[in-house]
Amino acid sequence: VIKYLESAQYLRPDQLIGFFEGWPHPPSTARHLDILKAAHRVVLAVDSDNNRVVGFVNAISDGIQSAYIPLLEVLPEYRKRGIAAELVKRLVDQYRNLYMIDLVCDENLRPFYARLGFRPHTAMMIRNFDRQAGE
């Protein structure tokens, strides 16, 4: 059974193993936990059989006008059962009174986000790859 939590307060780093698939310099589980705790909002999907976090989404925000969603990931063995959609829905619902909720995604995920109410726009970005692990 998957349960959804809206706080990382009581999480331990060992519950966060397996994320950042394919990242050349992924954050450690401890750094991942720091990221979740520092976020304005998070939604976590937890497998209640083993207490593992199997999916997460985070957001940074001023809490007044705008929010940005930097990260969304579901562990490979838990994909394709609607967990990511549920995470994003719950996050967007927390921000229903804001003016803008933005994210950047690859082209192939546009239909996924479009089903959740997002529409396409262009984005600009800076990526300091030597800072990817957040150390």
- Which residues sit at the interface with ligand COA, rule CB under 6 A? 21, 72-74, 79-85, 105, 108-109, 111-112
Q: How far is the CB of 101 from ligand COA (least distance, A)?
A: 13
Q: How far is the CB of 116 from ligand COA (least distance, A)?
A: 9
Return the number of the residue (71 or 98) whose C-beta is nearest ligand COA: 71
Q: How far is the CB of 26 from ligand COA (least distance, A)?
A: 12
How many whole angstroms separate alpha carbon 6 and alpha carbon 65? 20
Return the number of the residue (123 or 126) whose C-beta is nearest ligand COA: 123
Q: How many residues does the chain have?
A: 135
Contact 47, 5 (CB under 8 A): no
How many whole angstroms separate alpha carbon 40 and alpha carbon 128? 22
How many whole angstroms separate alpha carbon 59 and alpha carbon 43? 9
Q: How far is the CB of 90 from ligand COA (least distance, A)?
A: 12
**What is the DSSP secondary structure assignment for residue 40, as one 8-state letter?**
S
Return the number of the residue (10 or 129) whose C-beta is nearest ligand COA: 129
Return the number of the residue (11 or 118) whose C-beta is nearest ligand COA: 118
Is residue 58 exposed (0-12), middle (13-18) or buried (19+ Cβ within 10 Å)?
buried
